[in-house]
Amino acid sequence: MNYFTVSKPAEASFIEKKSEFIGYIAPVKTGDEAVEFINKIKSMHRKAKHNVYAYIVRQDNISRYSDDGEPQGTAGVPVLDVLQKRGLTDVCVVVTRYFGGILLGGGGLVRAYSHAASLACDAAHIMDMRLCHRLIITTDYNMYGKISYILPNFDTITVNSDFGSDVTLEILVLSEKLDALRKEITEVTNGSAKLQDSGELFEDFSSVLGK
């Protein structure tokens, strides 16, 4: 079980037949946060002809879009389609258009708004959010080398390391790999390592899973 979202706001722009399209993307958790972001962008571009948007949030399974004055189906839907095809959620995209005086036609608008949304997505850091466990491992220095050797085999992320009288490692391990990792650590340390499971949560695994 996983989902993709963005870590922080990003933006990108391009010009098509004298019209400037500026794509903005931001992480949002609720519909209210999405509306807040949309209003923020609108206030930044009060003189823009259009501020088209689309957002998808996991909470209550909400997806919304607006053409903001563009011909129906030529703006908001293409932006939403980009988010859906990329599998992004808990995100909001606003595409601001400054009209350059040249009509683009229906097909041209679809391509332009899709491109602006895609550029914004490309500019953002995409996070691969996976269901995982925060595991605290306490071991002596003799066993630390054995544990550190096997951790990469389980795609773990080390959150914190404390080298005191013993070694304490705070790691993230994918939920589906938790039992196997616990078994492996128990075997290589002959049960001497102390394992404390701090619970399940979603965290970004893009750095170790190559997304």
* Same domain, yes or no: 136 and 192: yes
Cβ–Cβ < 8 Å for 189, 139: yes
| Domain shared by 144 and 88, yes or no | no
Report the percent of the chain where pLDDT is more than 90.
83
Predicted pLDDT of residue 104: 83
Is 133 in the same domain as 110? no
Q: Which amino acid is at 135?
A: L
Q: What is the pLDDT of residue 1?
A: 67
For 139, the domain range is 129-209
For residues 168 and 95, state if they share a domain.
no
Q: Is 199 exposed, middle or buried (0-12, 13-18, 19+ CB in 10 A)?
A: exposed
Residues 100, 194 share a domain = no
| Same domain flag for 79 and 93 | yes
Q: What whole-number distance in Å separates Cα of residue 31 and Cα of residue 60? A: 9
Helix 178-188 with 141-150: angle, nearest 10 deg: 140
**DSSP assignment string, 130-181:** EEEEEEEEEE-HHHHHHHHHHGGGGT-EEEEEEESSSEEEEEEEEGGGHHHH
Please give the pLDDT value at position 112: 94
- Tell me, yes or no, whether 65 and 110 share the same domain: yes
Q: Residues 82-97: what's their mean pLDDT?
A: 96
From 93, 124, 155, the end of a domain falls on 124
Quote the tokens at residue 159.
């959150």
- The number of distinct structural domains making up the chain is 2
74 and 135 housed in the same domain: no
pLDDT at 71: 92
The CATH number for 10's domain is 3.30.230.30
**Phi-psi region at 64: left, alpha or beta (left = phi > 0; alpha = psi -120 to 50):** beta
Q: Are residues 150 and 103 in the same domain?
A: no
pLDDT, tens only, 115-167: 999 999 999 999 999 999 999 999 999 899 899 999 999 999 999 999 989 99
pLDDT digits (tens, 9 = 90+) for 155-188: 999 999 999 899 999 999 999 999 999 999 999 9
Claim to verify: residue 113 and residue 175 sit in the same structural domain: no
Is 139 found in the same domain as 107? no
CATH number, residue 155: 3.30.70.240
Tell whether 92 and 147 lie within a shared domain: no
Give residue 27's Cα distance to chain centre.
7
